[in-house]
Structure 1
Amino acid sequence: MGEQPGKLALRSQEWIQTALFQLMEKKEYSQISITEIVDRAGLARQTFYRNFQDKDEILLGYLDRLLQGMWQDADETPVFREELFIRLFGNWAANAPSALIYSIKTKDRKIRQLIFKSICDFFDGLFASAPQEPGGSPEETRRFYAHKSLSSIVHLMLVEWTLNDFHLTPEEIGRLVSDMTGSIRSYL
């Protein structure tokens, strides 16, 4: 009896993601080709495209799950306060794969762009009421830019903290980011 198509697709996705991370341990993300990924995974190229549009989708999916996963055990909806930042940095330090850390340390611009997009998407999901573009009232414009500024600061601090080998505890960096973004968060 054969495997169900859904289980087969999940297994292929896991193999593809694993292959990408294995390649990222030795090579910059932006230099990795789809051919290398499928060869490493032992799959056909069409299997890749049946599951993903491109390699960015693999990494964005992983980053999105990593950010969302920090709230699995929480009893309440997260809000922008110190606890959110502590959890975010703690989850990153505990769960970011070494291949991703390596890619950050090689200063691969594409990796940084994908991390920023994932953080923006995460914050957009937390506060669906945030304006999606500037315009409208002056208050909506301030909220839009405050929202994007917060994402930028969290991204910068996450990358710099990683580059500095997690020299502060998640609590210390979380508190620092919370303190630094207090005035920005007042617009949200």
Structure 2
Amino acid sequence: MAATNHAQAIKKDSQTYLTTALLQLLKTHDLDTITVTQVVKRAGVSRMAFYRNFATLDDLLTAYFAPAIAARFQDVLQHVPANQKLLAMGQFFSELAPTLRLAEQRGFESIIQRLFNDNMTTYYQTTMENGPLTAVQLKYWTKFMSAGVYAIWREWLLGGQLESLTTIHELLATLQTATMQALTQGAD
């Protein structure tokens, strides 16, 4: 038991060192120019330690960002009343702004967008489970809304947040409601 706990602690430390090293390198290098060798050298761990934990640098970034993004969506799903869900998402994106800017500049935004889209899919499938849409409508409406919500938040954050957070919330709520109404009225 003690050996297992020790091994788990070493694995966790290796993951932390590798993540820290990669994030440091991303401050000055694009993701596609960074090698595993550079990361392990900076982290002070072996290549074997890297490959025991991750297959690619993308996997390392996914492992780093996935829990934080999933946690924000879980907060919205479980702890935030319906009238505050957009506010919670706005706060999340405001906190994510510097990372999103770096991700766009350094070529790893697709990882954040994929994680966001995966979580949006879970969010809409959970909140719309017994809603008025057919399974096919829900599938495509979720993809449509996920892409649109991400694009709006991205534009707002990277564009300098010129509009108020309330304006963005109202826009998202209007678009969500209008698209939902269009689908349900079309089914009549």
Other-structure match for 1:174? 169
Structure 1 stretches of 5 or more lacking a match? 131-137
Kept in 2, the 8 Å contact 1:70–1:91? The answer is: yes
* Match in the other structure for 2:84: 83
Which amino acid letter does the alignment assign opposite residue 90 of structure 1?
Q
Residue 117 in 1 paired to residue 114 in 2? yes
**Matched residue count:** 177
Structure 2 residue 150 is matched with structure 1 residue 155 = yes
Aligned to 2:44: 42
> 3-state SS of the aligned residue for 2:160?
coil
Give distance in 1, aligned partners of 2:48 and 2:160: 39
Higher RCO (C-alpha under 8 Å, 6+ residues apart): 1
Q: Deviations 1:117-169 (Å, cap 9, x if unpaired)?
A: 10121123334569xxxxxxx93222111000111012212322232133345
1:27 alignment partner, SS class: coil
Deviations 1:26-77 (A, max 9, x none): 1122322212211111111110111112111222223322222225666936
Q: TM-score, normalization: structure 2?
A: 0.76
Q: Which runs of 5+ in 2 are unaligned?
A: 128-132
**Structure 1 residues 50 and 123: CA distance shift in structure 2, 3 A:** same
Which has a greater percent of helix? 2
Q: Secondary structure at the match of 2:134?
A: helix
Counterpart amino acid of 1:15? Y
Q: Among 11, 14, 34, which residue is 1:12 paired with?
A: 14
Q: How does 1:129-144 map to 2 (within 5 A)?
A: 139-144=134-139
Q: CA RMSD in A?
A: 3.3
Q: CA deviation at 1:89?
A: 2.7
- With over 3 angstroms needed to count, the CA separation of the structure-2 counterparts of 1:5 and 1:101, relative to structure 1, is same
Distance 1:165 1:23, change over 3 A: farther
SS in 2 for 1:56: helix
**8 Å CA contact retained: 1:86, 1:174:** yes
Q: Which secondary structure state, in structure 2, belongs to the residue aligned with residue 160 of structure 1?
A: helix
Detail structure 1 runs of 4+ shifted over 6 Å in the superposition.
none
TM-score between both structures, scaled by the size of structure 1: 0.76
Which one has the largest radius of gyration? 2
Indicate the residue corresponding to 1:101 in structure 2. 101
